[in-house]
Amino acid sequence: KDVQKEREPHVYLSKEEVKEKIQSYNSSVTDKLKMTLNANGIYTGFIKVQMELCRPITVQSSQSQGRCAPSSTETAFYLPDGCVNTLHISSTNTVREVIEALLKKFFVADNPAKFALYKRCHKEDQVYTCKLSDREHPLYLRLVAGPKTEMLSFVLREHETGEVMWEAFSIPELQNFLRILDKEENDQLQILKNRYAAYRGKLEEALRGVLKPG
């Protein structure tokens, strides 16, 4: 169930309260992804983000030199469903910074503004998915909810804008989309041809049996 962003007040914790919550958090961790409190009060830790992308992403080769690289070094493809990535972040990192870091980590050339981060949580035996604002801090949400992803998980999606805003895509991205559509069309056409060829073969075999002398 998708709902609008809930206006939950951000509770500012004291350094001692943060320390206690981190100790409690680390005592419950089962995957060794613990949090660390620094002397300046900033803490660091890990979040896991599930990728739920409907459209293909554009990925640069590791040899590319930023966004000025030739389009030949970019490839567009659909990300497999259920792909989960782990990021090491700090308590000061915002949602927007997390999205940018996630895309940079995997050489995604798409504009970060095309994406949004959602939180998925369980309440009263129902699952709710809420869009996070750009200024929220994911690691704080992780700390408050605890390490169990059943209680809270993060999901990266495209912005839900209804119609696709094709003008937001670059020419190389649009060209890659066309190549993907051409390939899918050719694949479906070949499947259709194979199906009819098999059907034709069975009909011809049946006709030979009927017309066989004697």
Tens digits of pLDDT across the chain (214 residues): 444 444 455 567 888 999 999 999 999 998 889 999 999 999 999 999 998 888 778 887 655 444 444 445 777 777 777 789 999 999 999 999 999 999 888 788 888 888 999 999 877 778 888 899 988 999 999 999 999 988 899 999 987 655 556 666 677 777 777 887 788 888 888 888 988 988 888 888 888 777 766 5
Please tell me the total count of domains within the chain: 2
Last residue of a domain, one of 145, 163, 181: 163
Backbone φ and ψ of 110, nearest 5°: -65, 150
Q: Are strands 126-131 and 2-3 parallel, antiparallel or unpaired?
A: parallel
* 21 vs 154: CA distance, rounded Å: 20
pTM for the complete prediction? 0.66
Asked, for residue 187, whether it belongs to a domain, the answer is yes
| 104 and 118 inside one domain | yes
Asked, for residue 10, whether it belongs to a domain, the answer is no
Q: Which domain holds residue 78?
A: 15-61+68-163
3-class SS of residue 25:
helix
Place of tokens 């990535």: 85
Asked, for residue 92, whether it belongs to a domain, the answer is yes
